[in-house]
Amino acid sequence: MLRRSLTRIAPLARPTQLGCAAPARTGRSLVQCVRSRLLCTPAAKPPAPPVVAEAAAGFSYVAFAKANPFFNNVLIATLKTSAADLVAQCAIEGKPFSEIDWQRNMVFCLFGAVYLGGFQYWYQVRAASGSA
């Protein structure tokens, strides 16, 4: 089996690329030379990407959204309705930030999470597409 796979490799590469300077001068066939190289020395691997680049990348929102679409939708809807209520209280009603009705804001957060985030995700993505 190894001989068959090595004979497939041999036509694709020159002996010098495989680390065999002159197999004809040593009396070994190309297959023997390649076999000795494969069994005795570790194969050359491409250099690994730097670890610093992976650490610098950090959190990926796109990867999170693809991995957790339901939770992502609930989170966005909750934050959006909370922000909308804060804008309504500060800009439209003219309340200073210290007088914001946080209980009302929590009701909006609950509405955003349960209805806009949870139910509408289920209805639009699962039930309407027929995959429920």
* Domain membership flag for residue 45: no
d(CA 49, CA 67): 24
The answer on 8 and 33 residing in a single domain is yes
**Residue 126 pLDDT:** 77
- Rounded percentage of the chain residues whose pLDDT exceeds 70: 55
Distances (CA, A) of 23 to 9, 12, 44: 15, 16, 20
* Domain membership flag for residue 68: yes
- Domain count for the chain: 2
Find tokens 């934050």 and name the residue.
79
Question: Whole domain around residue 31: which residue ranges?
Answer: 2-40
**Residue 48 pLDDT:** 64
Largest CA distance in the chain: 94
What's the token pair of residue 61? 């929102």
Q: Which residues of the chain have pLDDT under 70?
A: 1-57, 131-132
The answer on 58 and 35 residing in a single domain is no
d(CA 108, CA 76): 13
